[in-house]
Structure formats: structure tokens, C-alpha cells
């Protein structure tokens, strides 16, 4: 699993473009993982969109993670599901899916991260690193200090999310993240392919240095 550049979709930020169009462009630019996030549509709409995106991603061997909805992740046999602190508890989710899919957990504190690793998460979304306008229900920003504390405490992969873009992606990698989750930096870009390519190169350089 390559978490290097992790795209989180958001139709509300896509400037009228379809999620599939954004995903296709982002993959061309170097995105290595896609999380499909849909907060305001029916289950059937979510499934239809997920199947469309999944068909494309399979051709390119890019994993598809479903946000929040374990039932939809199971229905389409997605590669994984990403759960927040208010979703189905990790222990229950793991008991249901066993080892059939990845489970990512959003950690808003050091304790969240330690518990996620203890109960079988495959990776942690450290959220939010910085304040972000793409979600209204986030905890206070953890900052680089919070990221470093979590990195010292857990061994599983960490993906930084929250207010990340070209100006700060490198420092997040250098402070312990294995990957960067991008939302508006790619979804709202005039050229999502170019935006993804630029972020991918910034991350690559940060890893080298």
C-alpha cells in the first residue's frame, strides 16, 4: 500500500467537475491512493459513483478507500474503509471484515492514534495537521508537534491531512508522515493533474532530503 499522495474527494469543491474526472486527472499526476468521501448523497448514488471510480482505479492498480461507510465498502469490495472517531468502532469493523480490507482511522489526538494501532488499524490519518475549511467537524489542529508525538508512539503508517498544500507538504513528511492527504489542493485546482504532479514531486524531494 502506497500512501504517499492520498486523494480525498469532495464534490462540493470540484467546481462542477465530476469526481471521476478529478480522480482520473489526479492519478495521471501521481496520486497513489484515493478515498471516496460522500456526505450528501444516497447510498445508491454513493455505490454508483464508487463503482465508476473503482473501475478506473483497478486499471491503474490504485487502491480505493471508502470514507465512513463500511457497508458500501463491503458491497463493492473496496480495498479499504476509512473511519472517523464517530463512526463504527474499529474493533467492531475489524471483527466484521477480518483481513479482507484495509481499515484507516482518523486520529485527532495521541490517544486516538495509540488505540488505533492497538486495535488493528492498518494506517492512521493524523487529522487535522492544520486548520482546514473542507471539514467543519474537526478537532483543534495538531500541528507538526502533534504529528511528531504520534510518530514516536506508533509504528503503522501515518497520513497527514488538514490544510495541506504545496507550501507545507514537505514539512509534514519531514516530521514523520508517510504520506499526504490532499483535498482542496487537488480537487479545487484549475488543473488537478498538474497540482497532483507538483505535490508528488514535493513529497519525493522531502523523502530524499
The answer to whether 35 touches 54, Cβ cutoff 8 Å, is no
Which one of the listed residues 14, 37, 127, 184 is annotated catalytic?
37
Which one of the listed residues 14, 69, 106, 127 is annotated catalytic?
106
Residue 17 annotated to the active site? no
For residues 87 and 200, give the distance between their C-alpha atoms in angstroms, rounded to a whole number.
30
Which one of the listed residues 135, 151, 194, 204 is annotated catalytic?
135
Q: Is the link from the previous residue into 128 a cis peptide, with omega within 30 of 0?
A: yes
Residue 37 annotated to the active site? yes
**Dihedrals φ, ψ of 119, to 5°?**
-100, 10
In a 13 Å sphere around the CA of 55, the CA atoms on its Cβ side amount to 6
The answer to whether 72 touches 37, Cβ cutoff 8 Å, is no
CA distances from 68 to 26, 36, 38, 60 (A): 22, 9, 9, 24
Rg (CA), the chain: 16
For residues 92 and 100, give the distance between their C-alpha atoms in angstroms, rounded to a whole number.
14
The answer to whether 88 touches 69, Cβ cutoff 8 Å, is no
Catalytic residues: 37, 106, 135
Amino acid at each position: 500500500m502506497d500512501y504517499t499522495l492520498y486523494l480525498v474527494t469532495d464534490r462540493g469543491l470540484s467546481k462542477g467537475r465530476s469526481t471521476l474526472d478529478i480522480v482520473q486527472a489526479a492519478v495521471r499526476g501521481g496520486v497513489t491512493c484515493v478515498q471516496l468521501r460522500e456526505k450528501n448523497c444516497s447510498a445508491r448514488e454513493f455505490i454508483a459513483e464508487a463503482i465508476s471510480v473503482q473501475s478506473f482505479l483497478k486499471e491503474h492498480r490504485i487502491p480505493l478507500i471508502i470514507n465512513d461507510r463500511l457497508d458500501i465498502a463491503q458491497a463493492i469490495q473496496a480495498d479499504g474503509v476509512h473511519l472517523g472517531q464517530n463512526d463504527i468502532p474499529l474493533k467492531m469493523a475489524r471483527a466484521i471484515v477480518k483481513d479482507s480490507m484495509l481499515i484507516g482511522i482518523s486520529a485527532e489526538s495521541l490517544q486516538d492514534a495509540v488505540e488505533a494501532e492497538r486495535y488493528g488499524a492498518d494506517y492512521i490519518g493524523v487529522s487535522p495537521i492544520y486548520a482546514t475549511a473542507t471539514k467543519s467537524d474537526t478537532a483543534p489542529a495538531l500541528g507538526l508537534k502533534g504529528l511528531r508525538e504520534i510518530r514516536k508512539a506508533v509504528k503503522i503508517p501515518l497520513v497527514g491531512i488538514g490544510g495541506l498544500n504545496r507550501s507545507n507538504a514537505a514539512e509534514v513528511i519531514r516530521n514523520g508522515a508517510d504520506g499526504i492527504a490532499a483535498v482542496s489542493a487537488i480537487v479545487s485546482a484549475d488543473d488537478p493533474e498538474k497540482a497532483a504532479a507538483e505535490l508528488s514531486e514535493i513529497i519525493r524531494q522531502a523523502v530524499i532530503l
